[in-house]
Structure 1
């Protein structure tokens, strides 16, 4: 008898969240695997909603939550099951086993069940990973090994979170080196900097290092036609650059910014002059009259 109080909820909520995450991840992975085998396209959103509703309802009757299982799904598909009837039949037979033949199932040795699980693991493991481990980028190979190791040590939910974080950091590190600034001079005698690549928290240092405030003309234009400001760190980098030119008595112009970037740059105030006149809105001409 567990008291239905807020303290009880605070105790079980972290475990419930982890189990729900693991269930959703395993169900979506199973769905992706079955789609690849059967050359079909399942509905992930429908699967998540159905699983959540079913687990919530079964909890009121003292039942245990569940999710799609890779092993059972693989056996089902390899046996020829393709439609909804195969899943319904599997559920009904499992219900009959529990209600009427539980005494017989208890006589199955645990060693036999372990053998079955090993066969399932051998059949579902992606053995091709060992063949391509030396061909894929080192960062991808590291993430693959890391996620597999964390899954064994902790659980699938923690492994997925760790994998996403590490992959995001690797992505940011690689793209931080892709920003480049090409310097030239306009016909009017202004210094022109053309930025190529995304400007975000990982590339701000490299971005600022490519400007020569001392040797530039009194009028400087920074062209973002081939770049995008991705986050607040990029805005602060532009603000810092504008302040440097302002302290040097020079004027900075920004052009070809996307509308979203111009809205974000309003935070910079008078430090940055955004030249919207040189950012025309193009319209397509057509001979067809309304």
Structure 2
């Protein structure tokens, strides 16, 4: 049932090594997003383990990595501050149920309506967000509770180590692909810092500085099952439902868009509806095991793909390795320099950003270029879900406006005393006004023919426009003939119903977007 070992272009060895690399990069990300959500670091680490393992096994995209994410953590903050962490767990469970419903109702297919300019803006915006998030690693929390840049010596050492990490990742594949260059870079930088006793920040330094606890550690136990300690009442549902709906939407949008990006990189195709089910299952279990939930992580997914991870085994390895870090190897992971992980993420930023979009924007229509920039900016400054919705809406409005101008008709007078209109173009809500302006009912003869052979009636607004036109001719006592309409149109037209000339051999067959036909 599940391709647990490999996918096209991958191997168990590559999956295991890339999974190890991803696990190392997951630790600071999970901790950072836990702080964003105002919960304990272990809540974020558990989420990375549960989401990573469940979606690796059940999800629709082998090689894609899921875990705690910033997009969802931002939504959680207000709920945690106002009602506490138990309400967060309940909201995550409900969000998972909503995602399961989306998968069962096969709503994942609607990701296909996201236009390419929106996808490019999403990728570019997320790359910038990842970059800006790494800048926080160059800062430390002062006694006043505010973030301050590192002192000059510490900053220079960290920058040098970041550049060395990036150089190893870039140049090592030119020599060998036997092991993931990101994993080698992390190990080399860790050994270099330990051997030379360089004074630079490590994972445990970051954890203790952000938490304000000098004894903070990522060491922990297995997550335990517990129902969220909240009242089972309508009041509870009233509190968590808005948050759950937003979490479910944000999680699915980011996951399905990341799935599309990974599809493009691997030249394979994931299963959107199955991914909805995987994400929903992961979030339900997260809420029941004291984790903050999450969704697909484009940064870690890029690390996995670039390191050779293609199969489900890579995601499973990353999740299980992360749990082993928590249970058995916390002291070793805590000594990893932040510079090494920042360098890895900077390479992800360089690989994720669609640099060709700068050249592309000079060649594509100005509206597409505008959508790319708009989605990028909104992603950076507000929220991913809002950016995608705005991008899709703007693209749809532009599409409607452009196609509304394409409808036209040629008018002729025949020898048998008829006025004939040959209609061309799509007839839908955006073009109905232009459609009605094409006809001069007063000037036309008593017999009028409108031929829809080269036109397409798309929605109910178009049907209403045809009925309105028919009523105009009826009031003037003129006979109107509507030719070559789809059978759906014939069923739904009221005023013009008896004016439709049916020709079973030549009439077109297509569906019209109308609730009465559903």
Question: TM class, shorter-chain normalised?
Answer: 0.7 to 0.9
Q: Secondary structure at the match of 1:197?
A: strand
Q: Residue 179 of structure 1 contacts residue 196 of structure 1 at CA under 8 Å; is this kept in 2? A: yes
Q: Residue 252 of structure 1 contacts residue 273 of structure 1 at CA under 8 Å; is this kept in 2? A: no
Q: 1:47-93 deviations in whole A, cap 9, x for unaligned?
A: 22112112112212222212221111211122222222111111111
Task: Provide the rounded CA distance (Å) in 2 between the counterparts of 1:181 and 1:24.
Answer: 44
Match of 2:353?
Answer: 125
**Is 1:281 aligned to residue 498 of structure 2?**
no
Q: Residue 490 of structure 2 contacts residue 500 of structure 2 at CA under 8 Å; is this kept in 1? A: no
**Is 1:221 aligned to residue 445 of structure 2?**
no
**Residue among 80, 83, 87 paired with 2:311:** 83
Report the Cα offset of residue 104 of structure 1: 5.1
CA RMSD of aligned residues (A): 2.2
**Residue among 432, 438, 442 paired with 1:204:** 432
After TM superposition, the score normalised by the length of structure 1 is 0.87
Task: Provide the rounded CA distance (Å) in 2 between the counterparts of 1:150 and 1:200.
Answer: 30
Q: Residue 197 of structure 1 contacts residue 228 of structure 1 at CA under 8 Å; is this kept in 2? A: yes
After TM superposition, the score normalised by the length of structure 2 is 0.51
Match of 2:287?
Answer: 59
Task: Provide the rounded CA distance (Å) in 2 between the counterparts of 1:6 and 1:103.
Answer: 45
Task: Provide the rounded CA distance (Å) in 2 between the counterparts of 1:68 and 1:124.
Answer: 15
Higher relative CO (Cα under 8 Å, sequence separation at least 6) belongs to 2
Report the Cα offset of residue 218 of structure 1: 0.5
Unpaired segments ≥5 residues, structure 2? 1-228, 507-518
Matches within 5 A, 1:233-248: 233-248=461-476
Report the Cα offset of residue 108 of structure 1: 5.4
Q: How many residues align?
A: 279
Change in 2 beyond 3 A, CA 1:105/1:7: farther
Q: 1:212-249 deviations in whole A, cap 9, x for unaligned?
A: 22221101111111112222222222222222222222
Q: Residue 490 of structure 2 contacts residue 497 of structure 2 at CA under 8 Å; is this kept in 1? A: no
Q: Residue 179 of structure 1 contacts residue 199 of structure 1 at CA under 8 Å; is this kept in 2? A: yes
**Is 1:34 aligned to residue 262 of structure 2?**
yes
Match of 2:388?
Answer: 160
Q: Residue 252 of structure 1 contacts residue 272 of structure 1 at CA under 8 Å; is this kept in 2? A: no
* Greater mean alpha carbon deviation, residues 132-141 or residues 56-65: 56-65
Report the Cα offset of residue 117 of structure 1: 3.4
